[in-house]
Amino acid sequence: MPRIRAGLAAVGAALLLLAAPAAPSAHADAPAPPVLADGFGLTQVGAATGSATNFVITVRTAEVAREHHIRILLPAGYADAPAKRYPVFYFLHGASDDPANPSVAYPALTRSTSMITVIPDGGPRGWYTNWLDQNTAAGAQNWENFHIGQVIPFIDANLRTLATKRARAVGGLSMGGFGALHYAQRHPDLFGQVATFSGADDLSVDHMVMRGAVVATLTNAGAPLCGNTADATCSLDFGPTVSSDAVFGTPYPVLGADWRWNEADPCAHMAALAGTGIAIYTGDGGGDPSGMEFWVESAARHAKDRLDALALPYHYVDYGNGSTWGADCHGGHESGCWAQDLVDYVPRLEAAFAGAAH
């Protein structure tokens, strides 16, 4: 067992799914963000920061320890049409990131004039789920309760949303790609569209590298890695070190003990997405198995194969080494590729919203 555990940690350290987003586009078409009312277990801390269409609120909740940021992007003209309601895209960030980072507001998201985008905190390694172990040094970690039971009704109560499945989408990159599939599969009544961008789409025993990535965030085995940053001196800290078993129980496939990981595996639950619009984006890392995106592509193909077996429709993009996918994409696990993913996806999402009967 020590040898297996060491192997997983090594794999995770090499293949950790990080998310270093692209530079944002700012809006300053109004002097201040709108005032939102507390509720649904969320208490705001201080005033919102930012503009009227790109702002961050800070909240406390009993479901997750510490304070958390939620970035909200409103379409231009939101304040000028008080009777108009909008569909909502919940965009889930990757490991080690925070919605307070302005670069999570990708240009394709800030330019939308027909939808609201909400980027809730998922923690540096929350993995968009209620952790099995709530008694770690990280404190309460009920991320699914926070997002599904609190953030969504809070947004619907405070903003002019179209609060229906057909007018609500969830998508995410890297860790957030897993979260998007996980939420759409577990709550098919809430989301009409789902998208995963370089996501951890397969957590099965057949794709142990993804388990290794999760374990690396929990145990801080990936702390020496710095993703795609140009700063060679940087380091990463995902918070207090916790057990590899904290989120889904033991990841080690011994006598079926890893059954919770199999239950959480998105590939095992693709049938739950029947009737949902599905989009999957991936590169191939230039075919280099030492890079993260090489393994992400494998997970994406597993998800695609499962959808094919189920005869479910989907939009699938594998941009390979990125040579045809925008000037800033090189096929790796990198923000330049995700920015181009969203350039392709956002108009498709807006068209799906426009064509849906709300």
Concatenated DSSP letters of 283-342: --GGG-TTSHHHHHHHHHHHHHHHHHHHT---EEEE-TTSTTS-TT--SSSSHHHHHHHH
- 358 pLDDT band, cuts 50/70/90, is low
Cα 205 from Cα 263, distance rounded (Å): 11
pLDDT of the residue at 317:
98
- What six digits make up the tokens of 350? 């807006």
What the block records as the tokens of 128 is 């968009």
Q: What percentage of the chain exceeds 90 in pLDDT?
A: 80
* pLDDT tens-digit map of 161-202: 999 999 999 999 999 999 999 999 999 999 999 999 999 999
The whole-number average pLDDT for the span 108-120 is 97
Q: What is the pLDDT of residue 177?
A: 97
Please enumerate in sequence order all residues whose Cβ is within 8 A of that of 348, keeping only pairs 6 or more positions apart, or say none: 279, 315
pLDDT at position 236 is 66
**What's the confidence (pLDDT) of residue 221?**
82
Q: What is the pLDDT of residue 206?
A: 85
Q: How many residues does the chain have?
A: 358
CA 193-105-107 angle, 5° bins: 85
pLDDT digits (tens, 9 = 90+) for 256-315: 999 999 999 999 999 999 999 999 999 999 888 878 899 999 999 999 999 999 999 999
How many other CB atoms sit within 10 Å of the CB of residue 191? 24
Q: Distance between CA 43 and CA 270 in Å, rounded? A: 35
How high is the pLDDT of residue 237? 77
Q: Provide the strand spans (E) within 98-230.
A: 116-120, 168-173, 193-197
Q: What is the pLDDT of residue 288?
A: 86
- Give pLDDT, residue 357: 63
Look at residue 5 and give its three-state secondary structure: helix
DSSP state of 130: B
Look at residue 17 in the predicted model and tell me its pLDDT.
46
Q: Across 34-183, where does the E strand assignment appear?
A: 43-44, 49-50, 54-61, 64-73, 88-92, 116-120, 168-173
- How are beta strands 54-61 and 64-73 bridged, if at all? antiparallel
Distance CA 259, CA 294 (A): 26
Place of tokens 């429709």: 313
- List residues bridging with 57 in a β-sheet: 70
Residue 19 has pLDDT above 70, yes or no: no
Distance from C-alpha of 47 to C-alpha of 49, rounded to nearest angstrom: 6
- What kind of fold does domain 2-355 have according to CATH? Rossmann fold (3.40.50)
Look at residues 117, 129, 70 and name the one whose alpha carbon lies nearest to residue 90.
Answer: 117
pLDDT of 27 over the 50 cut: no
Query: Could you tell me the pLDDT band of residue 222, with boundaries at 50, 70 and 90?
Result: low
> Nearest CA to 10 among 260, 239, 208, 200?
208
pLDDT band for 71, please (50, 70, 90 cuts).
Answer: very high
* Three-state DSSP class for residue 262: helix
Determine the pLDDT at residue 231: 37
Report d(CA 319, CA 289) in Å as an integer: 16
